[in-house]
Amino acid sequence: MEFYVEGRPRAREFVESLLPSMLEQLKLTRSRKFLHIILDPSIEELGSTLPLNGLDMYLVVLKPTRDLMSLGATLAHELTHVAQFAKGTLQVTPRGKRWKGKFYGLKTPYLEQPWEVQAFSKQEIVMRRAIEV
């Protein structure tokens, strides 16, 4: 998977250093889709991931923080969503999301969304393995 990271140098270089390991861990290295990561301090949440199917790419927006470990964990969390989209286990619909064939509406509480449960369960281990490399 090819990628491009835009943002301030310190955070950008940190993210770029983690990406090869994280993409390998999440089995995304062979993906033909492009990954564009934007480090944007103005977003409210820590991170967000969008599949842009018409452009054959994924867009990940991260809020850069002074705490690089937190940024690394958020990156791992969002890349888990990229893997979910790439494998087809998570799909976006106009009225909600579909996880492994089951529909979840927009009112499903955040921590009850199975794709979020999986991303939270993986983020720490993926980040720590990437840092050890």
What's residue 131's pLDDT?
94
Cross-strand bridge partners of residue 6: 38
Which domains are present in the chain? 3-132 (3.30.2010)
Cα–chain center distance at 18: 13
Pairing of strands 57-62, 47-52: antiparallel
pLDDT for the residue 80:
98
| pLDDT averaged per 10 residues in sequence order, the chain, 133 residues | 96 97 97 97 96 94 94 98 97 94 95 97 97 87
Neighbours of 68 (CB within 10 A): 15
Give the residue ranges of DSSP H helices in 1-133: 9-25, 68-87, 114-132
Say whether pTM exceeds 0.85.
Answer: yes
- Tokens linked to 39: 């480090």
pLDDT digits over 99-118, tens only?
A: 999 999 999 999 999 999 99
Q: Rounded to whole angstroms, how far apart are CA atoms 65 and 29?
A: 26
